[in-house]
Chain A
Amino acid sequence: MSSTHNVEYQKKELPAKIRTIGLVLFIIGLIGVAASYLTDSSRSAFNNIIMLSFLTSVGLGSLFLVAVEYVAGAVWSTPFRRIPEFLSTILLVLPVVVVPLLFKLGDIFHWMHPEVVEADKILKGKAPYLNVEFFMVRVVLFILLWIVFYYFITRTSKKQDLTFDPSLTKKNIKLSAAFIPVFGITISFFAFDWLMSLEPHWFSTIFGVYYFSGSILAAFAAVTFVVVMLNENGYLVKGLTNDHYYSLGAFMFAFTNFWAYIAFSQFLLIWYANLPEETFWFLQRWEGNWIYYTIGLIFIRFAIPYFGLLSQPSKMDPKRLKIMSVWLLFAHWYDLYWLAMPNYSKDGILFSWIEIAFPVLSVGIVILLFVQLSKKNNLVAIGDPKLKRGIDFRL
């Protein structure tokens, strides 16, 4: 326990500027979103789904990173574990993000109309799963489960800041081990519900893994960006080295590849077998100007981050990491748009201020949450017994 005392950490308030930026983005975003709902509510609802799945990616993905650190006994990420813990607070916002969607469910999911289901043999067969009541149960249950795990895991971690009690680590390991299977199942069905069932005739067993791979990448990108920014300005514990940066960069690189692997596997199998009940989903994204969007996905989500993070020095370069992490977050939004939007707009890409308002609001929310949390809590888990080892981590 004595070793935790020779860690240099001085809690510093984040500058007020950040809060202002967050507030401005939040207000602009909120006005934009409200206006967009008044102008084109169906289109806004689709954008709202993208926002929901994006925030879930970052929030739930961050909680998963925290859980994996505990379970795997990793030390390199301990000095900045608070960052994913803070980011997972996004989960608390999800109920609010879901609410506007609940009023527009009929516009989004055409399996919600009984007369459509009645006329469609296949949708009729899916009715035991795809029906309004069960859907609502899942929405509520998933978010509730996530929030419960979020609450207990972060509470234990915060408590350790005061008590320095190593048995709390043990407790969190157990909680995390319970969370991981729950995470695996809920994130898959979340993806089926909100993204795959937008096209209720289409199905792909890998879809949950696809969303998972993108989510973890987004979470890593968000954590990397915040860690590099805070560390450069001295808000984190002293002694973080290139080796810590390298690990973050390597994980972003690895998950970029993993996403590409999953996405390519899904595409290749459907392209090769050429069954009409599967291929139409890709064909929708290959018609009109969607084709440019789809080809853009390969470059934006894979080629650019791949070559951007390929070399060893680039994984340690803070500037490169900041650029790539922001890029990857953008790419994740781009990917979610690719999953959701072609179901709404079969004619072509839609882009206007409506599509900007939602990401702006999301960023605003995350910044405000972060600033709020950093006021009350340490930015470093100073009570964690692994902290010293984490700082001393060398490749």
Chain B
Amino acid sequence: MNRRKFLKKGGMVLSGTVCADGLLLLTSCNPSETTKENRLSRHKWGMVIDLNKCKPECTACMEACRQENNVAFHGDKRWDIHWIRKVGIQERHSENAGEKMIPMLCNHCENPPCAQVCPVQATYKRDDGIVIVDHHRCIGCRYCMIACPYNARFFNYKDDPDWPNKSYPKRSHGVAESCHFCAHLLDQGKRPACVDTCEKIGVKAIYFGDLKDPNSEVSQLIADTPLKRIRADLGTEPKVYYKGL
């Protein structure tokens, strides 16, 4: 074998190995193998809040949320955390001008800006549409708080010694947190604490249900009544709807 033949054959062998490796890599990147089938994708949770029924001075949902999710309350507005809170919004440019108190919570956007900016993918959207924080992974950079157009995210500046619901964990100092539609209760087949409480006190201003199910209360309300979403123009596709906004 002369030098020319040797180089030719060597090149063929080399290119053959490279191509084979490339093929192997391509097949291993097939997305159908990496996606995980799970039962969460059967539902898509959504909420409708009827502002005509919601009383401006009532804070029952906020209290229920604190009790259920061990949300920190220090009595100092620098550190207090509200997963659901009452916000006064003003109507200026129409006949019915005035202030309205509306319950605000995480809107569980279809395109969540908080999940997009999270550098460690601690915030993510579950397959049932709930935007949730993995507090084990959160590094406390607070990008999500800046990204959220609804100011629904809060940072745990201080540990709260109170622990009302022992079956649900607290959050440690230094992580961001927000409403998660009581995902731990939904997994058990129950409803979120605020929805339950609102019904229990006889107001029933909050409706909760599956948006994928056309017969659910929420889907029918969305189909029949004119509902508004907050800052729908941003394209985040929030899943909390307001009636009478």
Report whether chain A binds chain B. Answer: no
> Residues of A at under 8 Å CB distance from B?
none
